[in-house]
Amino acid sequence: MTIEAVLFDADGVIQEPTVDWQATLATFLRPDQSADEFVLDLMTSEGPSLAGKGDFRDAVADVLARWEVTTPLAEVLSLWEQFAAVPEAIDVVQELRAAGVPCHLATNQQAYRREIMNDRRNYGQWFDRSFYSCDLGVAKPEPAYFKTILTAIDQAPTSVLFIDDNARNVDGAREAGLHAEVFHLSSGVPVLRGLLHGYGLPIATDGPEQGQ
């Protein structure tokens, strides 16, 4: 088995929220309203825009109207900006690339968040290529998402490893023929290093040596 490229998910793998966004969303509601149902409504409304269908901002506005939320749309949308890349995780990506292993971003995002990640924060500098679901017109866990990427990078599925924090997405990748593993940042970046090392990839299991 030779892994010739690695696909990394974004949320939960290389970046994490900087606020408790679900708790914040709950503050926008009346006491008699269910925060869990509100969050579910928002997540469901996001679905079409992840595949490039419809405008995420319009979808959120419709949810706020349905729940009679008076908080301005811009304030609600700002929660989707409250995240940050984890330097130790980015170091892993750069270490692999420096060793000659192509690394690609493979993430479900709507255009609003893609603009933040790709255009404002220049995530593309950390990866050989970036694949956002809203651009591909299909989202994980659909096997078609992964097959589109394989065609773009011209790799056989058995030569590619995919890392994601969502088991359903990992199952979709495996259905498409890729090697795939579940990892979440809460496990610690050393676990990610060990996982990659287990696939024979040129990565230090304890991080870069001091002074390098």
Pick the closest to residue 112 from 71, 61, 57 (CA basis): 57
Q: Are residues 12 and 66 in the same domain?
A: no
Q: Are residues 38 and 134 in the same domain?
A: no
Q: Are residues 115 and 188 in the same domain?
A: yes
Q: Are residues 92 and 10 in the same domain?
A: yes
Are residues 200 and 3 in contact, defined by beta-carbon separation less than 8 angstroms? yes
Per the domain annotation, does 210 fall within a domain?
no
Q: Are residues 156 and 73 in the same domain?
A: no
Per the domain annotation, does 211 fall within a domain?
no
Are residues 116 and 80 in contact, defined by beta-carbon separation less than 8 angstroms? yes
**Residue span of the structural domain in which 147 resides:** 5-17+83-198
pTM score, two decimals?
0.94
Q: Are residues 65 and 167 in the same domain?
A: no
Q: Per-residue pLDDT tens for 95-138?
A: 999 999 999 999 999 999 999 999 999 999 999 999 999 999 99
- Cis check: omega of the bond before 48, within 30 degrees of 0: no
Q: Are residues 9 and 44 in the same domain?
A: no
Average pLDDT of the segment spanning 192-210 = 85
Domain count, the chain: 2
CA max distance for the chain = 57
Q: Are residues 12 and 38 in the same domain?
A: no
SS3 for 78-128 is HHHHCEEECHHHHHHHHHHHHCCCCEEEEECCCHHHHHHHHHHCCHHHHCC
Q: Are residues 120 and 25 in the same domain?
A: no
Q: Are residues 51 and 27 in the same domain?
A: yes
Q: Are residues 176 and 72 in the same domain?
A: no
pLDDT value, residue 208? 52
Q: Per-residue pLDDT tens for 24-53?
A: 999 999 999 999 999 999 999 999 999 999
CATH code, 135: 3.40.50.1000
Whole-angstrom CA distances from 36 to 66, 70, 79, 119, 189 are 15, 18, 16, 32, 30
